[in-house]
Structure 1
Amino acid sequence: MNRLPKTRDYANGGVSYWYREIGLPDRRAPLPGARDYDVAIVGGGYTGLWTAYYLKKAQPDLRVAVLEKEFAGFGASGRNGGWLSAEFAGSRKRHAGARGKQAMIDLQREMFRTVDEVIDVARAEGIAADVHKSGVLHVATNPAQRRRLREEVADLRRWGYGEADFHLLTRDEQRDRIQVAATIEAAYSPHCARIQPAKLAVGLARAVAALGVDVYENTTVTEIRPRRDGKAQAVTGRGIVSAEYVIRATEGFTASLEGRHREWLPMNSSMIVTEPLPADVWKHIGWAGGELLGDQAHAYVYAQRTADGRIALGGRGIPYRYGSRTDDRGATRTRTAAQLWHMLVRLFPAAADARVAHAWSGVLGVPRDWCSTVHLDHESGLGWAGGYVGSGVATTNLAGRTLRDLVLRRETELTALPWVGRRVRQWEPEPLRWLGVRTIYTLFRTADRRENERLSRTSAYARLAGLISGR
């Protein structure tokens, strides 16, 4: 029996399951013409909204605007896997190279606190986002994955992680939490919470507007200009917005801005969600704690047990489109949905009779060195944050608080963190960019296949992919 819906069910005008559950928000009015502000933020996702939120909380008389092409929360903020996680994108060694090892440890500790910061703000603002802090499990299903998982635990000890922050589980401890087929090793961290991402995005946008931020939707920014005659500018088809500072918070859609085509690579990720699973299936799987779940494969998957008793699982679909094009409608190919379904059934055989209720895709931003960054140049009036490589739900909050301090010229512990001011080279021109990404993911898939068959250590194909990618 076919458990997948027909292809047309996947093209829902950019709608993730999270928005199908709550309904699309009513759109706010677009920019009415040329305007002047203290801070203009381009992009109405988590980064832009958190930045606006913390700026207005810190200085209520500040004139702040958010400019969004679609509606606030339309992009990855409303389509992600719902991992409010302290995991941080990029090489710790690279970040430590900027300001030392202790600075990277400080950054990680701040990420731990950021998970609770988001939870606290959601509670204070009355944002009911199905938040459930129960940690994250990483499972290994073959000897090569187990070796990587053990090496990761050992490496994290050198970067300030204590036993309580991330540790291996015994077989009984793992089985008591969740039954994942073929698991031979598992590790657990408490620094993660499940959220319903669209609920968080909609609630945060509402809170930002209530503080007096002007949120303009259906407003496409085509270019960001440095200061001219004392003001930076965001250029739109509805007028030019001038501001002391213009903050770029466009993540995977950065390539659509003039002159930013090679800045960050727009990477696609896809998800499926099942229908609600019956009690007898949950009895077999367990997962009563609602932990987030990821594996150690190179083409990794990420999953959550939703508040209404479904499994939502994601992974890479078509990772990159030629010319940094983006499909902002969220359409998902049948082939991609089928691949994700096979992954889900491989991990949870007990769910094999469930139907897939919905599939969707989103776009995330990848810098050339795969390291997240936040920056503000007081001379040009331009700032930005992003490059989260899929780990942005919590990192966006830290970015917003850091941009607040940078805009207000505060020297704080946040502005001293090593990701602040980080600059990387651009991605290669086409066709090298497309060929490179295609090669990388072909090598990763081959590596996973070989590791599943017989290897006890990481495949040479994966090591080669890592060299090409620059991770």
Structure 2
Amino acid sequence: MPHADARARRHPTVFERQPAPAAAVEASLEQTRDACFWLDDVADAVTYPVLHGAYSADLLVVGGGYTGLWTAVKAKVRNPAARVVLIEAQTVGWAASGRNGGFCDASLTHGEDNGRTRWPDDFDTLERLGQDNLEAMAKAIDALGIDCELERSGSLDVAVEPYQVDQLRESGAEVLDADAVRAEVNSPTYLAGVWHRDSTAMLHPAKLAKELARVAAGLGVEIFENSAAESLETHGRTGPVVVRTPRGSVRADRVVLATNVFPSLLARTRLMTVPVYDYVLMTEPLSPAQRDAIGWRQRQGVSDMANQFHYYRITPEGRILFGGYDAVYHYGRKVRSAYEHRPATYRALASHFLTTFPQLEGIRFTHRWAGAIDTSTQFCAFHGLAKQGRVAYTAGFTGLGVGATHFAADVMLDRLSGERTPRTELEMVRKKPLPFPPEPAAALGINVTRWALDRADHREGRRNAWLRALDAAGLGFDS
């Protein structure tokens, strides 16, 4: 592969044409902690016991992130008399559900291009169901008294290269010119933008997870932390399913697997996802003068339009979260805390932040962290049933799970009940994506793809033969 400097000479990106001063980058990171701001912000004494001994349940949920928590809550709302047990390997919301950027998007398909390409016959229905899902989720958060700082602020797609302006114009959306988009968020890198006013909300990720657990427990869900599922056994074609943990077991009529990026208890789905690490910085609270310098009064989420894109948002107390760009896959599909420590990536993010907002030079980042995204080859969630309809599963949200997990919970409960609904009839729900290959092919293919995406960003968006072949095969991949 060509050296990065050679690629940059073809068409340097704005972050290479206007790099931040190295001293400013280093100073911004001097006091940064290796910790997730969201999880620090909700640190409290609320814990749940370890599973000891044998339990029985009508429904067992494996996984204490958004997928499992929404499923448990919805199961009790549907049938208050049902005995629902939820087990979590560590603590509620500690993984992606507590670490993400807090963008809650209506799309179930990871955007229009991906949806129209993969499910052209169902796309209009998927768009409607996605918007309905966002509205239903917002209503549920209100009705259940969930305090997660939900804001219906929308999101901005911003062009930071001339070719991206053309892409915005071709989308058919109302395009804000440079002055108009900078009046919303003041960055000298912005050339144009589109404001999606109704399809995205902002929220506090860890508060959503912790509050969902509180609501679930209040409804009667029995929650157990530090109780990793080690095996799944079935008894005959119609008997109960038994899931074992280090110190106990649960015998259930129905089971939901909501383990997402972590290895599935079902061998059939273990090649369906790969963990891709995403990295994030969080600033200290901005001063009033700094707030005035950037505007951002409408508090939209922002993302640029590169293949290796950045996403960022401002919190209610005036911190800026800035992440994305450098999505990293590690050989062997492992999820390890050691992968969260990547100084070169944090320096790159800090530099790109100061290119985006040079008027904020001197700001400090208080937190840096990473998390693993459950990436699938269809670039959005897949759904399935196993064990003669007694086990439902979903995974592969590919970074868009804050809203889509709410939809997935209904899909799984519908399917476990045997009920046919508009959700269960979707081709996206009925068909599985192509699996990733085993190693070493997986690492080779993913890393060649990352190189090709970076190359496209340095060639004004032009995709090479490798990316075009992946597109044709339905094996989309993005940062």
Q: Which TM class, normalised by the smaller chain length?
A: 0.7 to 0.9
Q: Which residue of 2 aligns with 1:188?
A: 195
Shift of 1:29: 0.4
Taking the aligned partners of 1:430 and 1:338, their CA distance within structure 2 comes to 30
Q: Which residue of 2 aligns with 1:420?
A: 429
AA aligned opposite 1:175: R
Q: Deviations over 1:284-311 (max 9, x none)?
A: 2111000010110111111111111011
Normalising by structure 1, what TM-score?
0.88
Q: Residue 140 of structure 1 contacts residue 295 of structure 1 at CA under 8 Å; is this kept in 2?
A: yes
Shift of 1:328: 4.3
**1:212 pairs with one of 213, 220, 232:** 220
Q: Residue 444 of structure 1 contacts residue 465 of structure 1 at CA under 8 Å; is this kept in 2?
A: no
AA aligned opposite 2:394: A
Taking the aligned partners of 1:315 and 1:40, their CA distance within structure 2 comes to 34
Shift of 1:27: 2.4
AA aligned opposite 2:462: T
Shift of 1:24: 4.9
Q: Residue 153 of structure 2 contacts residue 200 of structure 2 at CA under 8 Å; is this kept in 1?
A: yes
Shift of 1:245: 1.7
Shift of 1:469: 8.3
Q: Residue 105 of structure 2 contacts residue 402 of structure 2 at CA under 8 Å; is this kept in 1?
A: yes
Q: Residue 32 of structure 2 contacts residue 365 of structure 2 at CA under 8 Å; is this kept in 1?
A: no
Q: CA RMSD in A?
A: 2.4
Q: Which residue of 2 aligns with 1:239?
A: 248
Partner SS for 2:328: coil
Q: Give runs of aligned pairs for residues 45-124 of structure 1, distance below 5 A.
A: 45-90=65-110, 91-93=114-116, 95-96=118-119, 101=121, 103-124=122-143
| 354-363 vs 113-122, which moves further | 113-122
Aligned CA distance change for structure 1 residues 174 and 292 (closer, same or farther; 3 Å): same
AA aligned opposite 1:120: K
Q: Residue 135 of structure 1 contacts residue 292 of structure 1 at CA under 8 Å; is this kept in 2?
A: yes
Q: Deviations over 1:208-261 (max 9, x none)?
A: 111111111101112334554612232322233222221111111135876654
Q: Does 1:460 align with 2:460?
A: no
Taking the aligned partners of 1:201 and 1:71, their CA distance within structure 2 comes to 10
Taking the aligned partners of 1:94 and 1:260, their CA distance within structure 2 comes to 23
Partner SS for 2:435: coil
Q: Which residue of 2 aligns with 1:134?
A: 153
Unmatched runs of 5 consecutive residues or more in structure 1? 155-165
Partner SS for 2:384: strand
Q: Residue 444 of structure 1 contacts residue 462 of structure 1 at CA under 8 Å; is this kept in 2?
A: no
Q: Does 1:436 align with 2:445?
A: yes
Normalising by structure 2, what TM-score?
0.87
Partner SS for 1:272: strand
Taking the aligned partners of 2:184 and 2:402, their CA distance within structure 1 comes to 24
Q: Which residue of 1 aligns with 2:174?
A: 167
AA aligned opposite 1:200: L
Q: Which residue of 1 aligns with 2:231?
A: 223
Partner SS for 1:78: helix
Q: Percent identity?
A: 28
Taking the aligned partners of 2:240 and 2:32, their CA distance within structure 1 comes to 46
Shift of 1:463: 3.4
Q: Which residue of 2 aligns with 1:23?
A: 43
Taking the aligned partners of 2:265 and 2:420, their CA distance within structure 1 comes to 33
Q: Which residue of 1 aligns with 2:340?
A: 331
Q: Residue 227 of structure 1 contacts residue 380 of structure 1 at CA under 8 Å; is this kept in 2?
A: no
Q: Deviations over 1:358-413 (max 9, x none)?
A: 00011111123323222334714121112111011000011112222222333222
Taking the aligned partners of 1:272 and 1:184, their CA distance within structure 2 comes to 24
Taking the aligned partners of 1:435 and 1:58, their CA distance within structure 2 comes to 46
**1:298 pairs with one of 307, 314, 320:** 307
Shift of 1:78: 0.3
Q: How many residues align?
A: 446
